[in-house]
A and B are shown apart, each in its own frame.
Chain A
Amino acid sequence: MPAVGFHGNLLTADNYHLVKILQKQLLKYGGAMGLTLTRAAQWTTSSSGTAKLESTPLNESLLKEILDFVEKIGSKSSQEAEHVFEEPLQWNTTLVASHFKKGYNTRGSTVKSNEKDSEGNPLLQLSPPSLYVRNFSQLSKLLHVAKDRKLQEVQACLEENRDPMVNILGWNFISKLDRTRSPPEVPIDASEKDVKVKLFIMLQDIDKKILNKLVAEISEQVQFNPTVVTKEVELLKKCCTEGEERLLKSLRYTSDFEFSNGCRAPLWRQALGEICYLVIEPCDGEILNITCSSAGVFLNAGFQQEGDESHYERKSDFYEDLASLLKSRSPHFAESINKQVFDGEERGRAQKSEKQQENIVHQWERLQRALYGRKKCDTCQRWRNLGVLTICGPAEEEKARKSSVEKKRPGARSRMKAELSASYSPGHLSSQRTKTSAGAVVEEQFSESSSETEEEEEQPERRSETNPDLPSEYWQIQKLVKYLKAADQTVTVLVLCAMMELDLTKETCQLAIQDLGGLEVLLNLLDTNDIRCKIGSLKILTKISQNVHLRQTIVHMRGLQRMVNNLDSPVKELQALAAETIANVANDRRARRTVRHHGGIRKLVKLLDCFNDSTDLRANMEKDLEVARCGASALWSCSKSSKNKEAIRKAGGIPLLGRLLRSPQENILIPVVGTLQECASQESYRVAIQTEGMIEDLVKNLRRDNDELQMLCASAIFKCAEDKRTRDLVRSYKGLQPLVSLLAKADNKQLLAAATGAIWKCSFSMKNVAIFQESKALQTLIGLLTDQPEDVLVNVVGALGQFAQKPANKTAICNGGGIKALINLLNGTNQVYYVGSHCSSCLNSLLY
């Protein structure tokens, strides 16, 4: 409890500062306890006019949390618990006199508590059906009395005391905190106020805690994407300027309070997928009340007052985003946005705004991409049209600037202009005012913008000829994806090969493949029987899955399942590619779980087993090794989660990794050692590494001239050398000297951290310390006490602490300037506590 920290001089000295802080918090959170109740709880109004808490799972867990808090407060902090409420909490109870036993004075049906306040009034009083309670201690006792009915009692109490804070602390106190400017007068008894403040902080604390817990619960159930909404709102806000160019009069959220998950809707509405509510005033119409939900954007009935459920009702179709809703509702908006984007230059806009304009267009584009990522494919076409709509803007302006381009293609330009003016003239738009769906409006504009009767699909392609600005790959990919959808396996492979010719490491290409529906086709190909199609698809997927966004989309589209299915294909190339792609995708946490759930770990471990057919030709051996390499890479990625470590072990992965560890090829060794050192965080692996003789191989590979491999081996030794026998093995295989020589590569911090870690752990054996000394490790380590990252410092200081257990080394450390460096580390303000604690124990062993 933060209250403890303030204890003592809380109000005796200058309480002004503290009260200020509290005021700020109040403003931010709108009052303790009240917050959870108003933002989270789902209220209904009963026929009698009193508000009721509905029995929903959300409210139930809320009540339980509050109950839990009240029950505990009695035992935890007595001073606060004894504090007498300004006004009693009063409600109609179902409890009767017979429930109350010890500590109460029963007379007929009325009950009074033996405990009284300073004026002699009982702290609890029951005159059926009303119950008055005046402090937390009594409240907690009452709940004890109520036994299995306590939840109902809490509910009744909350329903009848809608603002418990006022009852508890007094209106005076609250309003003082609430006052933003003037410093509070201090007429109240200081010690009493002290308790009040502490109580207030405590309540607020629990309020926040409950709220966050509920938010977390909700977020688990519903997938939100509030950032997209937030971004679009920000963007639209910029359009609420004054003057001719403004798109909207005003735009505001119905609530300033934002939950930790980025949503603003009350929690019980969040459970239904709603994110926030907006009130938008267009330039040419009535005020729009809008709900943004994870399913889309729609009009609601408007929020005149809180608590009435009917206001949440949906009054329109779902729209993809705010812009499309506004376009359908506000002709002015639709017209202006097109104008601003399309013919800004013709309206004689100043040069300076051009850049800003481009910026806005760019943001729209990005936003729509994000929106599309959230949507299914049926909206793809509409989005694409929108995409073109916004993309054309800068292209036009660009062309105006580069008149040379224009001269080359006068036909194209004039044709496009004609199309534009045809579709975006105000008259044309006003005739569409009756349209309800924004999508329909947009699509119609596009189909009419062309003189021929063509499919809308054709449109973007046509534009492509006139659009020098977009990367050519974008249009190329669009074409290729279209062909993929219409081809048999032979042409599919040709198209896939053409796609491979593009620079797939470029993010624009990766995102274009995702946005234009290519990713879906590629993943679908993995379900076919055609091996060449699958290979081609995976060759592309391995490359584009290096992009974080695409990884997530792949997981989302159930791509991993399909890759796992291909792991036991008889075609080795296919196995290898599937594993390699999984290795990329499994960098995503959710992906690792998916791989396990679909039996992927077992299959991947099987790929490591390339020692079966001794009769196989050498060519096949190479293929087998490649499969094993990819399998090990995938396991490396997967082994970052502890359940997968367990699964690898259960699938018999450890001995197979041990065999591969003897391979001479570095490209196989890296993922193998990578997996082993990742898994060495588990006891079972450390034991296996020692007993299956892998220490010898790890030491051997320390000597290879490959930084990554050396780093991984050192890291494995670091994790395993807690064990004495392992430390001895490292020594007997002569692994200590190579570790010391790794210290020379001080530029590679990862390597340095692993090497110093291994030295530290190995130096727990004094025999090892002796050998380290022979290799002059001590001096090098002292040199590493300055200007190193934290993870190196911890290891170095730890190692020196071990070295210092030999008296001779103590002098060496002192003479070598070690003490000074250590003390500097202790004093350093930026150093993390962890380093500091190691330092002091190191100094301890030096001094005593």
Chain B
Amino acid sequence: MTEMSAKTRKTIQTQAENLSKKVEHFTKAEIECLIQHFNSLLADQVSRGKAAHGLDRGRFRGILQNVFGLTNAMMMDGVFRCFDKDGDGTVTVEEWIRGHAVFLRGTLDERMKYCFQVYDLNDDKYISKEEIFHMLKQSFIKQPTEEDPDEGLKEVVEITMKTMDHDHDSLLSFEDFKKSVQAENLLLEAFGTCLPDPMHIKKFEQLVFQEQHEQ
């Protein structure tokens, strides 16, 4: 990093200047660090032969897994969907930083919106029972002896729906979701882990923002 040319540094500073006006929760200096970190990730990807302006899905998932400890494939796809605002299949530096604002420092409101978006698989603004069932499919150890191996899971989905569906339309709207999470914060990541836990956040921030202090 120290060998970085003056020109590159200048570019980063301008970029950070711009982004700090658009994105909350980060200082300008922190945004610089994030840009540098993003660039190094991108360079890694480019050096492997794929020139691109952003991180592709595979690379992104790799980062989620290695850096943030997320494991569920369906959730990682959802996270990618949320980060990739324009839906072009790559996460650009701006998308990366906007995503991280929620990922690392989001308020409860922001995180609720984000999680809801991850869970709303078909993006119709509602989470249906089928979607929940789909997301939790891998979560239940099936009892081989049971007649209907999905019976337990179905029941859990039913119970959860009953507690979260405040307007009783068998669909979870964002309002339903918000109400439930506000009443019980544990329901924020109700249908799968899609946010890093505090330990991973701390580690990541140390890794990325430390570079700033070292310079």
Residues on A facing B (Cβ under 8 Å):
454-455, 479, 482-483, 486-491, 493-498, 500-501, 531-532, 535-536, 539, 570-571
Q: Which residues of chain A come closer than 8 Å to B140, judged between CB atoms?
A: 483, 486-488, 491
Mask of B144-167 contacts with A, CB within 8 angstroms, 1/0: 011100001101100110010000
Q: Which of B154-205 contact A (CB under 8 A)?
A: 155-156, 159-160, 163, 184, 186-187, 189-193, 197-199, 202
* Known contacts A486-B152, A491-B139, A571-B198; A497/B184 CB under 8 A: yes
Q: Which residues of chain A come closer than 8 Å to B141, judged between CB atoms?
A: 486-488
* Distance, CA A454 to CA B147, complexed state (A): 9
Is A497 within 8 A of B197, CB to CB? no
Q: List 7 A-B contacts (CB under 8 A).
A: A479-B155, A490-B191, A491-B153, A494-B136, A496-B186, A497-B186, A500-B184
Is A570 within 8 A of B202, CB to CB? yes
Mask of B105-148 contacts with A, CB within 8 angstroms, 1/0: 00000000000000000000000000000001011111101110
- Of all chain A residues, the one with the shortest Cβ separation from B159 is A498
* Distance, CA A546 to CA B160, complexed state (A): 26
* Known contacts A455-B145, A497-B186, A535-B186; A489/B156 CB under 8 A: no
- Of all chain A residues, the one with the shortest Cβ separation from B184 is A497
Q: Which residues of chain A come closer than 8 Å to B198, judged between CB atoms?
A: 531, 570-571
Q: Which residues of chain A come closer than 8 Å to B184, judged between CB atoms?
A: 497, 500
Which bucket holds chain B's interface residue count?
Answer: 20 to 34
Selected contact of A487 from candidates B139, B187, B199, CB within 8 Å: B139
Interface centre among A455, A487, A571 (most CB of B within 10 A): A487
Is A532 within 8 A of B186, CB to CB? yes
Give the Cβ gap from A482 to chain B, nearest Cβ, in Å. Answer: 7
Give the Cβ gap from B69 to chain A, nearest Cβ, in Å. Answer: 10
* Distance, CA A455 to CA B145, complexed state (A): 7
Selected contact of B160 from candidates A454, A497, A531, CB within 8 Å: A497
* Known contacts A490-B139, A490-B192, A536-B186; A570/B163 CB under 8 A: no
Selected contact of A494 from candidates B160, B193, B197, CB within 8 Å: B160
- Of all chain B residues, the one with the shortest Cβ separation from A499 is B159
* Distance, CA A454 to CA B145, complexed state (A): 8
Q: Which residues of chain A come closer than 8 Å to B145, judged between CB atoms?
A: 454-455
3 tightest A-B CB contacts, nearest first? A488-B139, A491-B139, A486-B141
6 new A-B contacts, CB < 8 A, other than A490-B192, A491-B136, are A479-B155, A488-B141, A491-B156, A494-B156, A494-B160, A536-B186
Give the Cβ gap from A618 to chain B, nearest Cβ, in Å. Answer: 14
* Distance, CA A488 to CA B152, complexed state (A): 13
Q: Which residues of chain B come closer than 8 Å to A488, judged between CB atoms?
A: 138-141
* Distance, CA A482 to CA B143, complexed state (A): 11
Give the Cβ gap from B56 to chain A, nearest Cβ, in Å. Answer: 27
Q: Which residues of chain A come closer than 8 Å to B156, judged between CB atoms?
A: 483, 487, 491, 494-495, 498
* Distance, CA A490 to CA B134, complexed state (A): 13
* Known contacts A455-B145, A490-B136; A497/B187 CB under 8 A: yes
Q: Which residues of chain B come closer than 8 Å to A454, judged between CB atoms?
A: 145, 147
Give the Cβ gap from A671 to chain B, nearest Cβ, in Å. Answer: 24
Selected contact of B199 from candidates A494, A496, A539, A570, CB within 8 Å: A570
Interface centre among B159, B191, B198 (most CB of A within 10 A): B159
* Distance, CA A494 to CA B192, complexed state (A): 10
* Distance, CA A744 to CA B152, complexed state (A): 60
Q: Which residues of chain A come closer than 8 Å to B138, judged between CB atoms?
A: 488
Q: Which residues of chain A come closer than 8 Å to B152, judged between CB atoms?
A: 482-483, 486
Is A493 within 8 A of B139, CB to CB? no
Interface centre among B142, B156, B190, B199 (most CB of A within 10 A): B156
* Distance, CA A536 to CA B156, complexed state (A): 16
Q: Which residues of chain A come closer than 8 Å to B190, judged between CB atoms?
A: 490, 493-494, 497
* Distance, CA A571 to CA B193, complexed state (A): 17
Q: Which residues of chain A come closer than 8 Å to B142, judged between CB atoms?
A: 486
Q: Which residues of chain B come closer than 8 Å to A498, judged between CB atoms?
A: 156, 159-160, 163
